[in-house]
Homo-oligomer: A and B are copies of this chain.
Amino acid sequence: MRKKRDAEGTKSRVLKSAEKLFARKGFNGTSIADISKDSGISDGLILYHFKSKDKLYQEVIERVAARYMQVFEGFRENNLPPAEMMKESLREVFGFWRTDSTYNRISLWAYLERREATAVNEARLTAGLAAYLASLQESGHFPREIDPVVFLSTIIGPIHFWFRYKTRFAEILKLTEKDGALDDHFLKQFTLMLTSFFRDPNGPKKAV
């Protein structure tokens, strides 16, 4: 059939299909034949370009992880006051999860299948943010008695959780707002809870 020679085009079509299918069914649940069918690229050619299914998966994970990391670039550069920056970050991270549902699933599969790439990235990222919070503690913008890692778990954990269970919640609690509105509601509430922990070192102590 297609004998056009377009290596890059082929690779990107394969990666796109592979990402979709790996996200949906995981590594073991996705066969090269599935990817071949979805992308229209023959089995042989997929292996020709990516050497092995394993390496293809790796490449998918890395692509996805890179996308995730991009969200956090430039965070440190801006000079917003901490509470504002926290709000901003939350909005960005939340927005990413909301848009790129693929990342969530790929990252979970990778975790379960013990592929390190994403887990390492994520932990490193969290650790980086933790260091930043520690510096805020130094300057008195963030309460010293709260462990930054614990605090960050309290930020990111609920977001993971929300996207994992929100449709179930909507069903069970018979929430009638449509999906987008639910997300907005969650984000607003959640932001409110978290920003209460930040304070102006010179101003009065904020209470919950």
Flag whether A66 is at the interface (Cβ < 8 A). Answer: no
Closest to A150 in B: B189
Question: Is A181 positioned at the interface, with any CB of B under 8 Å from its CB?
Answer: no
- Number of chain A residues close to chain B: CB under 8 A: 54
Smallest CB separation, A200 vs chain B (Å):
14
Q: How far is the CA of A161 from the CA of B126 in the complex (A)?
A: 11
A124 CA to B26 CA, complexed, in Å: 26
A185 at interface, CB cutoff 8 A: yes
Can you tell how many copies of this chain the complex includes?
A: 4
Complex interface: stretch among A49-57, A89-97, A152-160: A152-160
List the B side residues contacting A103 at CB < 8 Å: none
Please tell me if the beta carbons of B119 and A168 are within 8 angstroms of each other in the complex.
yes
| Distance of A172 Cα from B28 Cα, bound (Å) | 29
Question: Is A190 touching B154 in the complex (CB atoms < 8 A)?
Answer: yes
